[in-house]
A and B are shown apart, each in its own frame.
Chain A
Amino acid sequence: MALEILKYPDERLKTLSEPVTLFDQALRDFVRELEQTMRAGPGGVGIAAPQVGRFQRIVLVDCSVTRKPVPNHGYLVLINPEVTQWEGMEVGREGCMSVPDYTGNVIRAERIHLVAQDLDGNTQEFDCEGFEARAVQHEMDHLDGLLFLDRLVSRRNDLFRRKVYQTQAKNTPAQD
């Protein structure tokens, strides 16, 4: 059954989520429900646990379902994910199940290296690029209480700003 999605301006979306420490059946059950919720939303390629009011560092992504095929790892369950490397910057358009009726342009890293645990607590590593990298970054922002609204750029500036961001990226990969 699909869970209820918190919608902005619900203040709870700004909550900082806690790491997962128990890799038990309850976690597996929750992730199954979270997946159903992601797939129930129109065009949803990802979801984060805090979007359904569970403030734990759990992210699901599935970019195998896009209109135009993109490089992807299929269905990813990312628990306690960390991005350890960033490369490149790109403007793309984002919307969010927690922000209905609005989309906007956001700058994200083009390629990321990702370390996360799976449902059994085993550590996994992924290299993601393009749309999938964007989806992971969008969902991971939810874990830190951030929405894409916090990162909007105006279309007027993005051609020029991108260069600045790339220069900065060499020294400060976090882009925050």
Chain B
Amino acid sequence: MRHWYMLTLVGNDRPGIVARVTSALFSAGGNLGEASMMRLGGNFTIMLMVQFEGERPALEAAVAPVAEALGLHIHLDAIEGQLHEQMEPDVRITVYGADRAGIVARVTGALAEAGLHILDLESDVGGSDDAPFYLLHIEGHAANGVEALQTALDQVARADGVEVRLRTIETLVG
């Protein structure tokens, strides 16, 4: 029986991490699914769906040597999920402004209350050390419609002095 697992690996970034991890999984008979891999703050982070014939300890044993060699922390869970369970986002939101404590919590809190289901969020800090700015990029599903989200965003924009932009996503199929 083949199970899907969620494999999380985090450690100092260095060249070749993705190639070494994925070839270890391939050699062990693992099948790769959806993944998010990126460099965050000098670390490299991997979140990866792996389909594997066998139990968790066997998969962990397959990854452990390469993780140890590269100094990566491993977290491995069996998951219920499958491929093709992606939800289509219908709204894209950008928020940016001078970096202020709690801004992410206020923005996402207001959006959650207005019915936003976040499917994807990325944030970054730009600018200089003494004048940083924060940028938030969200794609999600507006369960209560777009107007509710716009109203919530406008309130946050006024209260926090940030720039907000909301655009609806109409996925073209052709």
Contact = CB atoms under 8 A, between A and B. Distances in A.
Given A155-B120, A155-B122, A159-B137, A42 B173 contact: yes
A155 B139 contact: yes
Nearest to A101: B84
Given A68-B168, A92-B169, A93-B169, A135 B174 contact: yes
Interface stretch (A8-16, A43-51, A121-129): A43-51
A46 to B, nearest CB: 3
A42 B173 CA distance: 8
B170 interface: yes
A95 interface: yes
A26 B139 CA distance: 45
Contact of A139 (B89, B120, B137, B174): B174
Contacts of B89: 93
Contacts of B171: 43, 93-95, 103
Interface string A31-72: 000000000011111111000000000000100001110100
A132 B157 CA distance: 32
Judged by DSSP, the binding face of A is mixed
B94 interface: yes
15 contacts: A45-B173, A48-B174, A67-B170, A92-B170, A93-B88, A94-B172, A94-B174, A95-B171, A96-B174, A101-B86, A131-B170, A134-B172, A135-B172, A138-B174, A155-B137
Interface of B: 38, 84, 86, 88-89, 94, 120, 122, 137, 139, 168-174
Interface of A: 41-48, 61, 66-68, 70, 92-97, 101, 103, 131, 134-135, 138-139, 155-156, 159
